[in-house]
Amino acid sequence: MPTEQIKGTFRILTGAARTVCGHLLGDGAMAAHGRVEQLAGEAMLACARARGLRTASHLPAAGR
């Protein structure tokens, strides 16, 4: 799970860098691809967090 969080964070950072470069160079396709990469990283983090909550022992048992 920490690996997924690191990969997600890295994907968000690289997407942000690609977005900034795209805006600076006037390349709309690069900027759009960077934004898509950022969103994919955020989705990856959300999935990793959800998996972590599912296995947490501090959650109440179902049906109570």
Q: What is the pLDDT of residues 37-47, one digit of tens each?
A: 999 999 999 99
Find the mean pLDDT for residues 19-43. Answer: 97
How far is residue 45's CA from residue 39's CA, in Å, rounded to a whole number?
10
pLDDT at 2: 83
Q: pTM of the prediction?
A: 0.76
